[in-house]
Amino acid sequence: MVTIGVLALQGAVSEHIKMIEDNGAKGLTIKRTDQLDAIDGLIIPGGESTTMRRLIDKYHFFEPLKAFGQAGKPVFGTCAGMILMAGALTDKKEGHLGFMNMVVERNAFGRQRESFEAHLSVMGIPEYVEAIFIRAPLVQEVGEEVDVVSVYDDEIVAVRQGPFLACSFHPELTDDPSMHQLFIQMVEEYAELEA
């Protein structure tokens, strides 16, 4: 059984843990950097990306998170997590963790009151995926090695690049386990390669 951590600095941590455990993997709430050694994959949840980056710096997570991703371990970023994984942001030349070759625009769908739900077609998932968008970011550009796995109204809302998966929406706030199942499968494939 693989162990998947959820970075517990801000956001819907318990909802992600429940999704992980309901789908046959072990979930671990990550509050200390040394816990990264105990996991096979990591979810960076939604929240407020600027606040999350401040907390990442405050608790000395930046370098350990970079090393985790650079080791090729799977990482799944949802909403603010997608922003933190981007190589660049539209309003800032440089991204944060820079795991994925993409340019992300923050709050692209507007403010909190412009939150909405949608059913999306996602590459690798046979059924439609239930998605909740809350002050969601959008991917404005991708590099050649990035696969666009879902679009909404011709806008890119989910991407994959090797061991990295990111989406604009909050799959953990729905009853639909399919995005977590996709990530668990990615983590299991990585764990098999490492075994």
170 is annotated as an active-site residue: yes
Active site residue 60: no
pLDDT one-digit tens code per residue, 2-38: 999 999 998 889 999 999 999 999 999 999 999 999 9
Q: Which of 16, 96, 105, 170 is catalytic?
A: 170
Active-site hit among 16, 79, 105, 130: 79
Which listed residue (16, 105, 172, 180) is catalytic?
172
- For 80, the token pair is 């603010």
The model's pTM is 0.95
Q: What is the pLDDT of residue 194?
A: 82
pLDDT of residue 115: 83
Task: Kindly report the backbone phi and psi dihedral angles of residue 114, in degrees, each rounded to the nearest multiple of 5, phi listed first.
Answer: -90, 15
Q: How do beta strands 86-89 and 164-167 pair?
A: unpaired
Closest alpha carbon to 104 in 121, 87, 125, 123: 87
Mean pLDDT of the chain: 93
Statement: residue 94 has pLDDT above 90: no
Catalytic annotation present for 180: no
- Structural class in CATH, domain 3-194: alpha beta
> Which residues, including other chains, have CB under 8 Å from residue 87's CB and lie 6 or more apart?
95, 98, 99, 100, 101, 102, 103, 143
Q: Which of 98, 69, 74 lies closest to 86 in space, CA to CA?
A: 98
